Amino acid sequence: MISFSQVTKRYPGGYEALKSVALEIQPGEMVFITGHSGAGKSTLLKLMAAIERPTSGTVLVNGQNVGTLRASAMPFVRRNFGLMFQDHKLLYDRNVYQNVMLPLNIIGYDAADAAKRVRAALDKVGLLGKEKAMPVTLSGGEQQRLAIARAIVHRPAILLADEPTANLDSAYAVELGELLRSFNQVGVTVVIATHDEQLEARLQPRCIVLAQGRVSA
């Protein structure tokens, strides 16, 4: 599903975030990318989601080479993914319902179908009663769940999460872990960049450890 070979990412200024990384992620897997901060976890996720291109090497997503893809084709690769960002990136001038609707508007869903999917996604994360609420009025955990709802509303094949438990207390973190596990159980490939060892202990995923831009285990 996702395959990296000899992938190097060098940022302008010469900083090498990833050095000849090779890895393979199968459909339906749950994979953790772990390592210290600055090890290249976020860069790895960005390369997977076709948000950045590799400096050298090949990144294949569903058989498509992200490095050589035309810029106009990149958005369509990104639609394979549900993305959860470290800072959520919610839109604070829109209510909960409209936030979750955004990916469906972008893809261009039929109105009735879209409304059903938004409700289903909100139900899944337990926010169905808060459709009209603005994101600022939600607690940290609720904001996180809203971000999940937005990530999964278009039923992506792959869910990418960057430090999903970073700002959560442990009770919320447990809840979130269960939610991620439930997606994985229905066939979604889940890739999580984290250094949360408790989460790792609970979910028992395959781990890819990064150290200074290289895969070390």
Binding site for other proteins (CB under 8 A): 46, 49, 51-53, 71-72, 75-79, 81, 83, 85, 89, 91-93, 102-103, 105-111, 150
Cβ 111 to other proteins shortest distance, Å = 7
* 102 phi-psi bin (left φ>0, alpha ψ -120 to 50, beta other): alpha
Residue 33, token pair as written in the block = 């990318």
Residue 178, token pair as written in the block = 């269960």
Cβ 206 to other proteins shortest distance, Å = 26
CA dihedral angle for residue 213, residue 36, residue 87, residue 47, rounded to 10 degrees: 20
Cβ 65 to other proteins shortest distance, Å = 15
Cβ 171 to other proteins shortest distance, Å = 28
Whether 107 and 79 have beta carbons less than 8 Å apart is answered as yes
What does DSSP assign to residue 65?
E
CB atoms within 10 A of CB 180: 23
Q: Which is nearer to other proteins, 98 or 212 (CB)?
A: 98
Q: Which is nearer to other proteins, 162 or 205 (CB)?
A: 162
Q: Which is nearer to other proteins, 94 or 202 (CB)?
A: 94
Q: Which is nearer to other proteins, 33 or 147 (CB)?
A: 147
